[in-house]
Structure 1
């Protein structure tokens, strides 16, 4: 197919392309069927014609007598039969020749004409010829002399005009009906294709009506559970996910605006108080310290927001390497030693194995840091945090358990949403932005880490991370921090 043809094909409507492809495929099948029909009829017509011709040869051969090399008819009056005198009644033409093809005798209906003599073996097979502009079917039979040599040949022919007419009529009908059949097939296929893709048109129209302002609208499902039903269901599922994403985006924007506005409002209020009248050095120090605290809070919030934004493209830049989860836990606890000391919290690391995994060290450290920071933040003074590592057949699990305030069952499904804090008003003394667990969820998704949370209000929370395995496991004993 040429590029120009391909270009034209792509400009056709979808239902026209379906109809055209169907017609092209059907055209080949119809052409093959027509050829088979014509071949069968052609074979049958000539088979019957040759049977009649052989019958006439056998009948007239019995009337021929041989005396040495002389050929004569036993009953000369047979030459006067009606079939030899009248051309209109399926005439039979008979001719006798010597071995060299010289005419010896012929039927009266040949008049001054002669049948075509062919001394080659091809002449012994029925073949088509012409006699006075009329189509005939001809064959020649060798007449053997007493010694076994050829005494001459008997040539017989019958008219094949009727057979030629039948074949010509059939050829005309087939050739004439071929384009008509193809046009009818194209029209029918186009109509059926139009009806078949009508639900797709409806789905397209419904999809075009759905915008950001009406994401709750859904596509009506076709009544039959076919491919179109599956397509509509898939689109509805996609719309549901998009609606949820947009809702989360709106909620995130509102929460982020609120979180950013709060420290800015505190800074503005503090500065307004300072400029109203002269203050003592102690008051200036106190206000500046408060302002710096709000700036730090704002900086931390912005950094976490930027980190969440970078996660969208971080999958392409993962730097996987072999690392020890146990070592990562101890590194995080070392960084958090000041917070642990201030609240007199003990961390018991109970691990039966020290195993390595293949993962991104930055993200693994980020996950463990946020989970342990939450455990420290929400644990009461003098409590204990447990870290337990367990090795499975294809994974390494890390369970971090605290004795903190716990999470309400209704809030467990939302703690990974950006800027969401469970009962934030009831715990105003606990700093936080609500982004830590969102960062954990994104990082776990990138690294294919399974995460589960179990919590009992007022008793504590257990956070379990299941890392895909990589590397070898080495037995080790329990440690404490």
Structure 2
């Protein structure tokens, strides 16, 4: 999971964004208030003083100004203040900040100067307090967001880890909030799935065990007929019976292995090249009477941790179906990296079958160059169990190409699996 996708990070960012918006909003209101106070305390004060002093000065009456204020008219205006336009201004003269009101009446220009205004210092203190408050509120928002994120995300992470590790009893079941509701829903659904999988496993195992006995009897009887029969019309059907029963027995073995779901990480590695060569030689008789060349290129070998019977069943089903439906041309098996490729020059797969193969699961018709009956269904299921992927593509020039890709490292529902 990328850091940007983390729910904890999103909660903290949301709190920080909320803090920024709130502080900027209140800072803007406070700034407007500070400026309004400045107008009221400084500008209005200078205006009132000018309204009182200008008529008295024109009438020749004494103008006694409060401490820190001075009134100047005409030639008495200091040289540095003579060129300022009418209105209130903040200027600096000889390093001293002044508030100056410049005006004009019938007697000429005048200025009112405030020499001792401390409002700039007060304003600086106020804005410094705003800045400290801003960063303090952001820090508080980040800490609060982190606290809320931990309270929300940590239980969810604990619950997710428990579900992923297949813990029998999930945490948070006793909580009365939404997390408790979610935990109880997960627990109920997990229990239903576990029961369903157990019933399916038991059913598959029981049926497979029940089928072993009659298949053994059938194979034994067919073997006796093959050995003792002198008539070709009896021996050939007996061989077909024996071959079909043997394939059914192998299918049962695969179903039993899938039902038992052994831990792959605990199994010894098997060489895929040995399996590919063995399966190719096993089904070579299927193309011996046809103009078909069967090639097995297993030079690029690799090993996997898996039951040998499952690997042989998956690869063998692809080879068998390719040999069965290819009437002329080529059936080639090759290993490349961690990929097993089986290609043929058969008639190819119909569009309906190809669409069905693209679905995550399901049965498909048993027609096409690569065969899509129970054999292909088992191959797909074995690939899913082993962490591999089974893909189909059209071969250039006609036919089908099946690729079985084994990742170097894969995590499976029943545990970790390591590729060498």
SS at match of 2:97: strand
| 3-state SS, counterpart of residue 91 of structure 2 | strand
Measure the CA separation in 2 of the matches of 1:128 and 1:178. 28
Question: 1:117 and 2:82 equivalent?
Answer: yes
- Alignment length (residue pairs): 267
After superposition, residues 75-114 of structure 1 pair within 5 angstroms as 75=61, 78-79=62-63, 81=64, 83=66, 89=67, 91-97=68-74, 103=75, 105=76, 113=78
User: So what's the TM-score if we normalise by structure 1?
Assistant: 0.45
Give distance in 2, aligned partners of 1:206 and 1:162.
Answer: 65
Q: Distance in 1 between matches of 2:126 and 2:239?
A: 102
CA distance in 2, matches of 1:187, 1:26: 11
> Match for residue 256 of structure 1?
208
Secondary structure at 2:81 match in 1: coil
CA–CA distance in 1 between the matches of 2:50 and 2:20?
Answer: 44
Contact 2:19/2:137 (<8 A) preserved:
no
Q: 2:187 aligned with 1:194, yes or no?
A: no
2:266 is the counterpart of 1:266: no
Cα distance in 2 between the residues matched to 1:13 and 1:93: 65
> For residue 185 of structure 2, what is the aligned residue in structure 1?
233
Q: Tell whether the 8 Å contact from 2:70 to 2:112 is kept in structure 1 after alignment.
A: yes
Counterpart residue number, 1:398: none
Task: Write out per-residue CA displacement over residues 435-461 of structure 1, whole angstroms, 9 at most, x where no aligned residue.
Answer: xxxxxxxxxxxxxxxxxxxxxxxxxxx
Pairing 1:126–2:103 present: no
Contact residue 124 and residue 140 of structure 1 kept, 8 A: yes
Mapped contact 1:218–1:236 kept (Cα < 8 A)? no
CA deviations on 1:106-125 (whole Å, 9 max, x unpaired) are: 6xxxxxx5561236xxx222
- The gaps in structure 2 that reach 5 residues or longer are 256-312, 319-351, 358-363, 368-373, 375-420
Distance 1:142 1:270, change over 3 A: closer
Match of 2:35 among 42, 47, 72: 42
Residues 369-405 of structure 1 show CA distances to partners (whole Å, capped at 9, x for unaligned) of xxxxxxxxxxxxxxxxxxxxxxxxxxxxxxxxxxxxx
Contact 1:93 1:158 in 2 (8 A): yes
Q: Describe the shift of the 1:295–1:34 C-alpha distance in structure 2 as closer, same or farther (beyond 3 A).
A: same
Q: Distance in 1 between matches of 2:14 and 2:130?
A: 22
- When residues 246 and 315 of structure 1 are mapped into structure 2, their CA distance, relative to the original with a 3 A threshold, is farther
Q: Distance in 1 between matches of 2:10 and 2:247?
A: 59
CA distance in 2, matches of 1:129, 1:301: 103
RMSD: 4.5
Is the deviation greater in 264-273 or in 171-180? 264-273
TM-superposed deviation, 1:244? 1.4
Give the drift of 1:48: 2.8
TM-score by length of 2: 0.50
Q: Structure 1: any 5+ residue segments left out of the alignment?
A: 1-5, 66-72, 84-88, 98-102, 107-112, 145-150, 320-361, 366-417, 419-481
Distance 2:248 2:219 in 1: 15
Q: Is the 8 A contact 1:222 1:229 kept in 2?
A: no
Distance across 1 between alignment mates of 2:132 and 2:124: 12
Give the counterpart of 2:60 among 59, 64, 74.
Answer: 74
For residues 109-151 of structure 1, what are the alpha-carbon distances to aligned partners after superposition, in whole Å with 9 as ceiling and x for unaligned?
xxxx5561236xxx2221112355432221222122xxxxxx5
Name 2:136's counterpart in structure 1. 180
Task: Provide, for residues 392-440 of structure 1, a one-character-per-residue CA deviation record: whole Å limited to 9, x for no partner.
Answer: xxxxxxxxxxxxxxxxxxxxxxxxxx9xxxxxxxxxxxxxxxxxxxxxx
5 Å-filtered alignment, 1:368-407, equals none
How far apart, in 1, do the equivalents of 2:123 and 2:181 lie?
52
1 CA distance for matches of 2:70 and 2:150? 62
CA 1:257–1:295 in 2, change beyond 3 Å: closer, same or farther?
farther
Do structure 1's residue 141 and structure 2's residue 103 form an aligned pair?
yes
Distance 1:18 1:134 in 2: 50
Q: Distance in 2 between matches of 1:269 and 1:58?
A: 129
